[in-house]
Chains A and B, each alone.
Chain A
Amino acid sequence: MQRGRMLHRLCFVGKWLISGANGRGKRRASQRQDNNPSPLKSRLAQGPTLSKPPCKDRFFHMSLTSHDIDRLAQLSRLQFEPPAAERLLGQLNGFFEIVEQMRAVDTSGVVPMAHPVDAMHGLTAAIGDTDELGMTLRLREDIVSEHNQREANQRSAPAVERGLFLVPKVIE
């Protein structure tokens, strides 16, 4: 239930962010270039199909607004008082200014690197195979490896009753 709601929220925020960006996208239509998304990229693109701007070129010049902060805070399960939110907005926009330089980098044909074990592949035979996304996948055998440690595990829980974690009522 909770998970479903979270997913719904994610989609909602996604749509909202995109619709919020469209106006700016229009203004910048002349600056946009068409670039052919790689098959990998289109496979990974999970966003709603936008007939208009390819999102890579649209978002970069965009400054966040206080409305964005509110939505991201909600997504992150955080709250900010108005003065803190305003300060944060300035700081995040300052950060995204230095992110701007990534825009000019031609990464066509480069496979994303999920973690360094993947980059070591080939340097030593002991390192396993990686998949298309650069992930090395290793699973241990699905066998019981630890004894029940409920008491030790619940020692630092904020609210416990009869071995159960207590949470506020979710279903009326």
Chain B
Amino acid sequence: MADIHDMTVAQLAAGLHKKDFSAVEVATRFLARMGGNPHNAFLDIQSEVTLAQAQASDAKIAAGTSGPLEGVPIAHKDIFVTKDFATTAGSKILKDYRSPFDATVVSKLREAGMVTLGKLNCDEFAMGSANENSAYGAVTNPWDKTRIPGGSSGGSAAAVAARLAPAATGTDTGGSIRQPAAFCGITGIKPTYGRASRYGMVAFASSLDQAGPMARSAEDCALLLSAMCGPDLDRDSTSLNVANEDFSRLLAMSAGDKPLATAGKDGGPLRIGVPTKWVKPKETTDGISIEVNNNFWHTLDYFKSLGAQFLEVSLPNTQLSIPVYYIVCAAEASSNLSRFDGVKFGHRAKEFSDLADMYQRTRSEGFGDEVKRRIMIGSYVLSHGYYDAYYLQAQKIRRMIAQDFQQAFVQCDVIAGPVAPTTAWQLGDKADDPVANYLADIFTLPASLAGLPCMSIPVGLGDMGMPVGMQLIGNYLQEAQLLNVAHRFQQVTNFHKARPEGV
């Protein structure tokens, strides 16, 4: 039997169900691994809470009333509010904040039987691509401690890669699940916008924010996604009124040697669209590193060997997704973050002359630089006389980007591309250059703007031994198909089983 901390969610669920080990044993093992907070991945740990939940799970297992994931531990990105753990969103302005309720995603995973290990570090209000914008310090990459883990769900990715947790929640606004999953060599999926409730997710950009699971395989992500999603109509105005699905349902099907030869439309071969301009011919570089580019072509060969077909698709407005995204998200952030005024919750400045001064000092002390930048950009693009030309123009191009995808999906079933132009960079490399960070989001932003389901799977290591991810994008509500494609790939490859040295 494998070590408990090496088991997947599926293995842990099965072992707990068969009583091979207890939920308390499992929780104790992970809590021990979390001791000393490796990689600065956790922001709050409450061992007693975790152990009490594990004991309750053991009681349910004994009574035969267990949920599908009873006793399996999970850690939550600190963007999800939790009753029993502090919630900071990686910001000083929410230091020591205790929510009076659990986010819907958190309570759904609890209902499925999962035990909470703690809260995970992230970029402040999920704004960042390197986890260097956390007010509580950067997270380090388990593959190389001198490198960033990606962001904003950097703590989630690092914890799963370092086997501090078998799974974690993440949120993805412009790539915050996919990019850290790629940089840490794990699997993560952002479902269709509206699948998972945003209730209790600290709001950054409400038209983009979406929760999703991060784990070590597509199989695990499917189990977790099934437990996380579902309509929450009274609490989230953009929650989709679509019945929840068993996202694992396609995975069990046996499909022979060439499982993707029948996985496409009408039982035909799966047609994978490759956006022209996203990748380059082999051995060249232009906006993408050679290691990522070569790896991409190499991975396509695996998919071909499984029976998939390839064709080129055009996403002509990809480049525009950077300004469009950063205008839309800044506008929404400036509005969402106006609630932090030092009155009802969070930090309040110690000294001030009047109410306006209290607001200004509170916010200036509480927010970090990147958050302030985005609020300023948002205030500008929403201000009188500039709204049409910036915000409205961005929203119009956003629709064009979404329409480009629908054109592409006429020809193909899923779209494949890189997740990021490079592998994880050195800590500090881009810390003072916000625009350089924004530009590195090029491949994840288009699907976010369109609200499409998309995932990242590990596809090998680059020149410096750092993981490379591949992005798969599906059409609306096609998560089960995406997960099936990824699962088939993981059945015949071992990239998702690679582990950092010393872990």
Contact = CB atoms under 8 A, between A and B. Distances in A.
B21 interface: no
B73 to A, nearest CB: 26
A73 B372 CA distance: 9
B393 A56 contact: yes
A168 B397 CA distance: 44
A117 B193 contact: yes
A116 B207 contact: yes
Interface string B396-428: 111110110000000000000000000000000
Interface stretch (B11-19, B261-269, B354-362, B483-491): B354-362
Main secondary structure of the interface of B (DSSP, over half): helix
Interface string B262-293: 00000000000000000000000000000000
Interface string A108-151: 00111111110110011011100000101111100001000100
B384 A10 contact: yes
Nearest to A13: B383
Contact residues on A (Cβ < 8 Å of other chain), bracket: 35 or more
Given A47-B384, A76-B379, A77-B363, A92 B373 contact: yes
Interface string A139-168: 110000100010011111111000001011
A88 to B, nearest CB: 7
Contacts of B82: none
A95 B434 contact: yes
A78 B375 contact: yes
Interface in A48-69: 48, 55-56, 59-60, 64, 68-69
B310 interface: no
Given A119-B451, A140-B233, A102 B343 contact: no
B376 A41 contact: no
A123 B477 CA distance: 9
A94 B372 CA distance: 16
B400 A107 contact: yes
Contacts of A105: 317, 320, 393, 397, 400
Nearest to A123: B476
Nearest to B380: A72
- The 9 A-B pairs at the shortest CB distance, nearest first, are namely A116-B451, A14-B384, A112-B395, A152-B100, A115-B207, A158-B348, A113-B399, A107-B396, A116-B193
